[in-house]
Amino acid sequence: MTAAPYVPEPLPPEGIDWEAHIPQIASANRALARYDGIFQAIPNPGLLLSPLLTQEAVLSSRIEGTQASLEDVLRFEANPRERISDTTLADI
């Protein structure tokens, strides 16, 4: 028995009433523009993004089998000289 690969329907799907989606698209566009304006007004936007990037890195690393928690990573970033186990350090 040979398994056939899944082949999705071509994009964009047919039958979408694009005109009905214009208000939602406009609302999303306004929200992104507001966010972009606020983000550009911040002197150091990395301060806002850094915790999110760290959290995402911890979560994606769990998929790879690492054991370091977000608390471990933040504790290490706050004080890299603090004594931690070699295993945790390797995971961080």
The string of pLDDT tens digits covering residues 34-63 is: 989 988 888 888 887 888 888 888 887 777
The answer to pTM > 0.85 is no
- Is the model more confident about 31 or about 79? 31
CA 67 vs CA 19, 56, 64, 77, 87: distances in Å:
48, 14, 9, 16, 8
Other C-beta atoms closer than 10 Å to the C-beta of 58 total 19
Cα gap 47→25, rounded to integer Å:
29
Of 13-27, 32-46, 70-84, highest mean pLDDT: 13-27
